[in-house]
């Protein structure tokens, strides 16, 4: 029974050690700003993409309006 208790302690210690190690790594990454920078870049890219789509839609809408006016003037 004592051997079983020691094995459990070792297993718990390994799991706890892995958790602590992961927490330290996460803390270091946040300290370095690597994850925050990546998130800001992703948000910036999404915003730029939305702005580009909006401009493209506006351009297409203007082209359609011009074409409609041209067709209407030709059919009068």
Q: Where are the domains of the chain?
A: 1-32, 37-76
Q: Using an 8 Å Cβ cutoff, are 60 and 66 in contact?
A: no
| pTM exceeding 0.85 | no
The one-digit pLDDT tens for each residue of the chain (76 residues) are 545 554 554 455 556 678 888 888 887 877 776 655 666 666 677 777 888 889 999 999 999 999 999 999 998 7
Q: Round to whole Å and give the CA distance between 29 and 23.
A: 10
Percentage with pLDDT > 70 across the chain = 63
């Amino acid at each position: 029974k004592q051997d079983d208790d020691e094995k459990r302690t070792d297993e718990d210690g390994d799991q706890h050690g892995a958790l602590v190690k992961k927490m330290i790594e996460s803390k270091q990454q946040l300290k370095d700003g690597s994850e925050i920078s990546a998130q800001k870049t992703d948000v910036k890219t999404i915003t730029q993409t939305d702005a580009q789509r909006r401009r493209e839609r506006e351009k297409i809408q203007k082209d359609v309006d011009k074409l409609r006016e041209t067709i209407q003037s030709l059919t009068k």
